[in-house]
Structure 1
Amino acid sequence: MTVRALRDRVMGTDLLLVLPPQAQAAVLEWLRAVERTFSRFDPGSDTSRVNAGGAVVVSELFLTALDEACRYFDATGGLFNPFLGAELARLGYDTDFALVGTRDVGATTSPAGASDVAAAFPVGASDVAAAAAPGGAPVVHLDHDRRAVTLSPGLAVDLGGFVKGWSVQRAAEAERDSGRVPYGMIDAGGDLVAWRPDDGRPWRIGVEHPLRERPVGVLELPMPTTAVATSSVVRRRWRDRAGAELHHLIDPRTGEPADSDCAQATVITADLAAAEVYATCLVLLGTREGPRWLAGQAPGAGWITVGRDGRVRSSVALV
């Protein structure tokens, strides 16, 4: 088996595929289909059509990913929230990020109902998968029979990093389980899945420090299939008209950019979608509360945090 490295760009991030050429083509095609389906900035995407309001018939791909995101919404008590698109747009992240920093961005008033959504957390497990707004009405309804999604006014889906991790995980599973690719890696902007035979040589990856030039360290991936996700408040930053610096990790409890003491969190586990969720939650909760919370959610997950003071804390060995 010939394994090669291919670099490309998808979902607004750099992509590295360490796979046989045929597998590279299949994975790239899949990720581009996911990008077309979930982009907030493509008027024809399922995300844009759902966010426009009403009962919208969507693809099975969109419904499946949103349903799984809702399960994490429920499991985390709303700390992970896939319905923060209105908050991001209000803060100025309403177009491809490459353009956000090139224009004068001003924070505006939230759309009608957005403040209610920011305060909503629990998700019910059934065809109604959503938060309960203060008045008790569901904010999103998933109709699996009709394959339709309905959002309350003022609400907007943004699956962001979650769907990147979710789609990379599924691509990796498809290639690994085919039996044709026993050794490979899919890396989307540092969020990756790597796999090997049980007796194969472990992958080793570098973990960047968000505030310093030298890396946090090198991590040897412990399992035959390992997922690693990193969330950071240092990436995707911009300023509003008043000069305030903003970033894209929104705390659903406030509707504003997270302001804990955690600048970056990395989570190591078996599933990249889960790792994406947990890394974001660690940033929201901070370097002390976050690891305690993660121990209750996923006891086997490893973690690395970097505080805003640059201090590194870790549950895993770094070389």
Structure 2
Amino acid sequence: MAPEDRGARERLMGTEILLAALGTAHQAQVFGWLGAVERTFSRFTTDSDTTRVNSAGGRPTEVAPMFAAALAEACAHCERTGGLFDPFLAADMERIGYDRDFALIAAEGVAGSGHTAAPPRAPRGTGAPRVEIDHDRHTVTLSPGLHVDLGGFVKGWSVQQAADALRRGGAPRGLIDAGGDIAAWRTRDDPPWRIGVEHPLTGATAAELTLAPATSVATSSIARRTWQGADGTPVHHLLDPRTGAPAVSDCAQATVFASDLGAAEVYATCLVLLGTGDGPDLLADLDATAAWMTVDRDGRVRPSPNLDLHCHEAAFDDPS
């Protein structure tokens, strides 16, 4: 077995990163890049760009070029979705208890905010929120009260950046899996990548899929990062920016297949927020080439009619 066939694993960005069909030099390149992303974007370290921008009180803050680039793309998605995807929910995340690395919350099982219940949502300040990104000076300025958290989006964005760099560098085949968010590519003569999507309610396999030659896959689920609030109520991390509270639609999980993993992250989040009624319509407006599958809170699996754009074969636990 060749070294690149054995794969490699490393824990970064709060999840396990799996690499396949990549040689050791390319593995080091990906892990090095994702490690830099983690240091730059973490909400839980004092010296990250995210922490420094959020604590700047409206003053310009020098940031890494990658931070400015990712934030600009996230803001573009925010505008495209009418604010349904919101990269400025950091204060809301802390308010509901997601105030440190999720591994610590999971180990304790209870959020650490100390509140008997989540306090009321604080206003973001007066006037229109201001986001200024100076790509020449590498600075970001947020209006006071606006706190950025690129969360799952930056995970997808950074994995796609890594995959694109490898493909430009001549890697003909590879897969990067960041906790179920996947960028996979191959030549048409290579054996296809086959993946499974876990059912969020049963833990069984909801679908087995054979991917097209270049596909990115993102999953958002209310079952992935859950904990017990300080008042005993269950809480999950997918917040609805319209309410500041965890999403309550009929959609428990959404998996999106697209050409770009950052965009797929956004689309999957929007599907969970809007539910299986309005969500697919929005996605069709945003990107007609993106496909999806959802799992309802009652366990029903629903694939989109255009899934064959990204999957050559698909077998569902419940195709009805």
TM-score by length of 2: 0.89
Q: Give the corresponding residue for 1:173.
A: 164
1:52 counterpart (49, 52, 55): 55
> 1:110 offset after TM fit, Å?
5.5
Residue 271 of structure 1 aligns with an amino acid whose one-letter code is: D
Match of 1:193, SS state, is strand
Gap change, CA 1:295 and 1:48, over 3 Å in 2? same
Residue 36 of structure 2 aligns with an amino acid whose one-letter code is: A
Q: Give the corresponding residue for 2:299.
A: 310
Which runs of 5 or more residues in structure 2 are unaligned? 308-312, 316-320
Equivalenced residues, count: 298
- State whether structure 2 residue 195 is matched by structure 1 residue 192: no
The CA distance in 2 between the partners of 1:246 and 1:139, in whole Å, is 30
- State whether structure 2 residue 45 is matched by structure 1 residue 42: yes
Match of 2:50, SS state, is helix
Gap change, CA 1:59 and 1:111, over 3 Å in 2? farther
1:113 counterpart (123, 129, 149): 123
Query: After alignment, is 276-285 or 144-153 more displaced?
Result: 144-153
> 1:111 offset after TM fit, Å?
7.4
Q: Give the corresponding residue for 2:261.
A: 272
Are the counterparts in 2 of residues 72 and 80 from structure 1 also a CA contact under 8 Å?
A: yes
Q: Give the corresponding residue for 2:215.
A: 226
The CA distance in 1 between the partners of 2:235 and 2:100, in whole Å, is 15
Are the counterparts in 2 of residues 184 and 194 from structure 1 also a CA contact under 8 Å?
A: yes
2:141 counterpart (150, 159, 164): 150
> 1:226 offset after TM fit, Å?
0.6
Are the counterparts in 2 of residues 140 and 152 from structure 1 also a CA contact under 8 Å?
A: yes
1:77 counterpart (77, 82, 88): 82
The CA distance in 2 between the partners of 1:310 and 1:112, in whole Å, is 35
Q: How does 1:2-151 map to 2 (within 5 A)?
A: 2-3=3-4, 4-18=6-20, 19-53=22-56, 54-101=59-106, 102=108, 104-105=112-113, 106=115, 107-109=117-119, 113-114=123-124, 136-151=127-142
Q: Give the corresponding residue for 1:298.
A: 287
Q: Give the corresponding residue for 1:126.
A: none
> 1:209 offset after TM fit, Å?
0.4
The CA distance in 1 between the partners of 2:95 and 2:84, in whole Å, is 20
Q: Give the corresponding residue for 1:216.
A: 206
RMSD: 1.6
> 1:155 offset after TM fit, Å?
1.7
The CA distance in 2 between the partners of 1:152 and 1:20, in whole Å, is 45
> 1:108 offset after TM fit, Å?
4.6
**Which string of whole-angstrom CA distances, capped at 9 and with x for unpartnered residues, describes residues 137-173 of structure 1?**
3332223343221222222110011000000001011
> 1:36 offset after TM fit, Å?
0.1
The CA distance in 2 between the partners of 1:68 and 1:293, in whole Å, is 19
Match of 1:286, SS state, is helix
Residue 123 of structure 2 aligns with an amino acid whose one-letter code is: G
The CA distance in 2 between the partners of 1:283 and 1:143, in whole Å, is 33
The CA distance in 2 between the partners of 1:28 and 1:144, in whole Å, is 25
Are the counterparts in 1 of residues 254 and 269 from structure 2 also a CA contact under 8 Å?
A: yes
Query: After alignment, is 94-103 or 47-56 more displaced?
Result: 94-103
The CA distance in 2 between the partners of 1:216 and 1:112, in whole Å, is 39
TM-score by length of 1: 0.89
The CA distance in 2 between the partners of 1:56 and 1:37, in whole Å, is 13
Residue 220 of structure 1 aligns with an amino acid whose one-letter code is: T
> 1:69 offset after TM fit, Å?
0.6
Q: Give the corresponding residue for 1:129.
A: none
The CA distance in 2 between the partners of 1:183 and 1:302, in whole Å, is 22
The CA distance in 2 between the partners of 1:29 and 1:81, in whole Å, is 28
The CA distance in 2 between the partners of 1:297 and 1:186, in whole Å, is 25
